[in-house]
Amino acid sequence: MPLVLVDTNILLRSATPSHPMYQRAVNAADALHEQGYIRCLVPQNIIEFRAVATRPLPINGLGMSQAEADSEIARLKTLYRLCLDTPYIFGEWERLVSTYGSAGKQNHEARIVAAMNIHGITALLTFNKSDFMRYQHITIWEPTDLVRP
């Protein structure tokens, strides 16, 4: 079965029912499951999720307590396959940043793609398709590519 990484921005929207993109995030993740894809996460997704989830609302966070964030992370780990870090990811990240160049937050995206490459994950579901376009060897979907808004 094909593997698809679900980006942190999808996880954050799907954890916030009041967010305008909530339903799109949930519907797209559900569509992947219904179409037989194995939905995956890597540790970086969990770390990024917890960082934003526990940040206060006034500074672009979700305002969750640590316990609430941990509970949501536990729920996510029941819904998605967690592909753990391996020693090979760092070397692949170095190769990607050398090949494609990488400045600022592009380094985080390169690490996501490095983990995908090492785990054989060939597709990504994200709200930020343009952030990953340089990596032409992966399929990149936004929610609207899978379900109507």
- What does the pLDDT look like over 25-74, one tens digit per residue? 999 999 999 999 999 999 999 999 999 999 999 999 999 999 999 999 99
CATH architecture of the region 3-85+124-144: 3-Layer(aba) Sandwich (3.40)
**pTM listed for this prediction:** 0.96
Tell me what the mean pLDDT of segment 84-110 comes to.
97
Is the confidence at residue 133, as pLDDT, over 90? yes
pLDDT of amino acid 7: 98
pLDDT of amino acid 1: 84
Q: Concatenated DSSP letters for the chain?
A: --EEEEPHHHHHHHT-TTSTTHHHHHHHHHHHHHTT-EEEE-HHHHHHHHHHHTS-GGGTS----HHHHHHHHHHHHHHSEE----THHHHHHHHHHHHH---TTHHHHHHHHHHHHHHT--EEE-S-GGGGTT-TTSEEE-HHHHS--
Is the confidence at residue 148, as pLDDT, over 90? no
Q: Sketch the domain layout of the chain as residue ranges.
A: 3-85+124-144
pLDDT of amino acid 44: 97
